[in-house]
Structure 1
């Protein structure tokens, strides 16, 4: 049963709250970047072990996102939004009080579970926002993933530079508590528990979690362990076996964790494929530009910026994404999300293309970043509209969560590939080995290339303007309708 949608004036507050929650959740992913150099001393561990503080959050987010989406479809999206704030708050407190690596990793893993706020919020918009505002609202909410990542760096740098590292996590806990209160007070509960809610696919959740952890662990740590090492190859093999088995199970069970028949529809499948590639392109700039800004000027190409200055130079990119998202929503409303996604990928490619020639000054890199993030804002805002235009309303949370997962896989692959490029193409500065100027140019060209690939994938998406996300239950053409379950 669904309540009537709020008036446009009231829906503005709802969108603002949901977007704020998404930004805070995504900040958790870049929260510890300014601390990575200090973590070995803080936690009395090695530099290699300290990287787990960042890696575990990405792994936890990847596993939790599709699970929370499915639970949102079953038990109510607002309810699961409130539930998602609990581990975010508890994890922040645990991290703030940590004195060793194990407790810090535990806290960071709990923080990662909060990333489910983003796809749940996107799906809830379909229930709460008037049709005329839906496209713009979805674009802003979807872009919060990138906005939070971009703004998290200067936010964390400022606190780390001028206060105790523990303050970072206390502020995170406070933000989590504020979000929970705002959800409770501002966001209405439009869903009632169904009489026949269906069962939760525990086996599917475990299988997906194990497969994703094996895959992303191999991708993210393969460079450290060696791509040909037994551990890395074993994890890749385990991921293939488990995920194939999981897919067979999902096709046979009556209440699947992810409806693979729905995700196999061309519109959904190709949008998810584009999401992986756009995720790669988005994250590459976040890896390349900060390092280039901070490398010493003595290299001849480094810009010698402090951590705080680097964060401030990166901030306009996040603000650009926030500014472009509503414009993308209006473009989607007028011409459809396929055109918006195509335009976004082409803008990303253009940004990377010009960045090859704009590496000589901090302001030049800032301009290139603003172009790239403008494209990301357009692309990220269009993806949920394409997804929700191709699935029934009862599956919007799960479908959006799966789409968010595809972006996460793209960012993980990006981290691995860019890491290899920077590690293999090096130069010497005295006794220190650093990534060479050609390494950064190669990384920028890779970002440009994958954005072009995303544009080509987008051209193949079979979207028709009539498939509006404002529809209550999108019609599935006969050839795309799911087959009866065995």
Structure 2
């Protein structure tokens, strides 16, 4: 980069600590939207003249909007700008807060709470901005703190909203949310730079609609199943709707050029297992949030409750939030030293141990606080590792959408935990005079269930490939900043690539005739073999890469049914398009003869042993045939001469490269007639 441009870039770069602070404050606001309503729920039936079951929609509406908005806003952030979509999400949150503050009816509050759900997308988008904008050495600690904000806001939100409610009234809570939202919008616009890393193309509207319907039906069934009855017709119908729309969504996403969710990338072992572990950790974590305050507020007549007021019980959760702040840098250090996989396992192990301890620590308030704080420590450590694991396994230009899917699955875990805990608390009950209260065994069952979920997360995390293992096996995963790099020092060849000025490279993968090759994978490494980025081309062969800087790289390209290619390429900032050519297409070919003569116009078919048709071809004047190579496996090749009544067949095993299968002594029409 020219000296004057480098100087300009340095002078306009915002302080790292300021960017991290603003983004983490945005993440804290997300958690506050989830806990704002808790102190108000017992009084809202009287305030709004409605039933307690109806009041629960004030929580459900936010949950459903958050589930739908998170993957959509995250995908749009990758396509149209991360800061831009953060502003959109915060504007929606402010609109919802104003509606709740001025609306005096139950319907208006439900609408406002639905708008507030858009805030959930701020965390995955904010984490992606950190990856794009922060120095490499600061990414791990910043991501850890951003991940911890979910617990911080949840812990601090209960006492804060309770105090405001008791002092200024319930409307003041939403006015506070409005003011904070406006201040954050101004802070983000003035502090957070807009990332240049974007994926161009069309937004997958149909995929977004199908996924939104499926998620709404699924989460509505989970959240309302306890009240409506798990075997009731509405709940069964919702589960069926979710299954039907997911069944339609999956094959559509595999066909569409630029899918809402890249299922091919999401099904890779590192991403799939990390998302599954995230769901289990989300389930385990949420048990702490729901059970602790209820345990503290239960009347002493229950035999194990403490009869604390809502605000006091909320204050007892403050140590949990502070613990998450304190352990965020510790989890980042673990990630830097041992890798994100180890950090996730350690966090889940702390979670499991803390819940097992909570089964026995029930006699004093300090025991409850200690147990809840230990759970928060495990949550902070585990949550810090998940975005790093995800970003390590997906293309740089898809970090927001990938983190959005991860956040969504955590939300599914917390929703499932909410339903399970509600069912347990209403199943294990005892009569105390005229009231019915949960028993101690209800809470110990919840803690055992949460511990089992954490142990299951450990079992899943063990099989997540390590950073070095993935890079060695596939070459398709880069080393994320903050994750230990196998290369201890830079060499002369690495010096050809600048570490300071990330560039975006776009292009197309084509075949010999210039026809685009769909779903090709382009992997870029530096000249010492360290991964830089990778991309999966869409149906038009278009790909996007984010590289550390200008210079020479090793480019490895491959696609299903094509011979791979490898070349050293020089990349420079401002390139409009880089064409990558795949010259040889794998195929099945051969020659058909009869009595030494080559047979023209013979029909060659390829089927699976299970009966599915794969393809067919005709021999040319020289008796040769050719067809595209299918996936590796066993197939049946049959040949029939034109006009003949008999054919020959052969079972073959096709490898992942071009194969030749010749046929001799094919029955001809004249031979058959004799």
- Superposition TM-score tier, normalisation by shorter sequence: over 0.9
CA contact (8 A) 2:328 2:384 kept: yes
Q: 1:474: how far off?
A: 3.8
Q: 2: distance between equivalents of 1:460 and 1:399?
A: 20
CA contact (8 A) 2:78 2:198 kept: no
CA contact (8 A) 1:69 1:119 kept: yes
CA contact (8 A) 1:5 1:129 kept: no
Q: 1:159: how far off?
A: 0.9
Q: What SS does the corresponding residue of 1:389 show, helix, strand or coil? A: helix
Match of 1:118 among 123, 141, 145: 123
CA contact (8 A) 1:94 1:103 kept: yes
CA contact (8 A) 2:198 2:397 kept: no
Q: 2: distance between equivalents of 1:5 and 1:209?
A: 42
Corresponding residue of 2:423: 420
Q: 2: distance between equivalents of 1:421 and 1:459?
A: 30
Q: 2: distance between equivalents of 1:379 and 1:12?
A: 23
**More moved, 242-251 vs 211-220:** 242-251
TM-score norm. by structure 2 comes to 0.69
Q: 1:31: how far off?
A: 0.7
Q: 2: distance between equivalents of 1:351 and 1:8?
A: 42
- Asked if residue 189 in structure 1 is aligned to residue 191 in structure 2, the reply is no
Q: What SS does the corresponding residue of 1:462 show, helix, strand or coil? A: coil
Number of matched pairs: 481
Match of 1:342 among 345, 348, 354: 345
Superposition pairs for residues 64-75 of structure 1, below 5 Å? 64-75=69-80
After superposition, the Cα gap between the structure-2 partners of 1:260 and 1:300, relative to the gap in structure 1 and judged at 3 Å, is same
Q: 1: distance between equivalents of 2:558 and 2:459?
A: 25
Corresponding residue of 1:230: 233
- Asked if residue 162 in structure 1 is aligned to residue 167 in structure 2, the reply is yes
Q: 2: distance between equivalents of 1:20 and 1:480?
A: 41
Corresponding residue of 2:479: 468
Q: Show CA shifts across 1:60-119 (max 9, x none).
A: 001000000000000010111111111110100000111111100000000011111111
After superposition, the Cα gap between the structure-2 partners of 1:31 and 1:481, relative to the gap in structure 1 and judged at 3 Å, is farther
Q: Give unpaired runs (5+ residues) of structure 1.
A: none
Q: Show CA shifts across 1:414-470 (max 9, x none).
A: 001111111101011111111111101111111111111111111011122465312
Q: 1: distance between equivalents of 2:560 and 2:131?
A: 26
Corresponding residue of 1:248: 251
Identify the structure with bigger relative contact order (alpha carbons < 8 Å, sequence gap 6+). Answer: 1
Corresponding residue of 1:270: 273
CA contact (8 A) 1:425 1:435 kept: yes
Q: 1:358: how far off?
A: 1.0
After superposition, the Cα gap between the structure-2 partners of 1:214 and 1:193, relative to the gap in structure 1 and judged at 3 Å, is closer
Q: Give unpaired runs (5+ residues) of structure 2.
A: 1-5, 472-477, 484-501, 503-531, 537-554, 563-674
Q: Show CA shifts across 1:122-141 (max 9, x none).
A: 01111111111111111111
Q: 1:325: how far off?
A: 1.0
Q: 1:187: how far off?
A: 0.7
Bigger Rg, structure 1 or 2: 2
Q: Show CA shifts across 1:157-204 (max 9, x none).
A: 11112221000000000010111011011111232777xx20001101
Which has the larger share of helix? 1
Which has the larger share of strand? 2
Q: 1: distance between equivalents of 2:67 and 2:257?
A: 24
CA contact (8 A) 1:427 1:436 kept: yes
Corresponding residue of 1:31: 36
**More moved, 151-160 vs 174-183:** 151-160
Corresponding residue of 1:312: 315
Q: 1: distance between equivalents of 2:314 and 2:403?
A: 30
Q: 2: distance between equivalents of 1:406 and 1:233?
A: 22
After superposition, the Cα gap between the structure-2 partners of 1:422 and 1:247, relative to the gap in structure 1 and judged at 3 Å, is same
Corresponding residue of 1:11: 16
**More moved, 6-15 vs 354-363:** 6-15
Q: 2: distance between equivalents of 1:476 and 1:154?
A: 46
How much is the aligned-residue C-alpha RMSD, in angstroms? 2.2
Corresponding residue of 2:153: 148
Corresponding residue of 1:394: 397
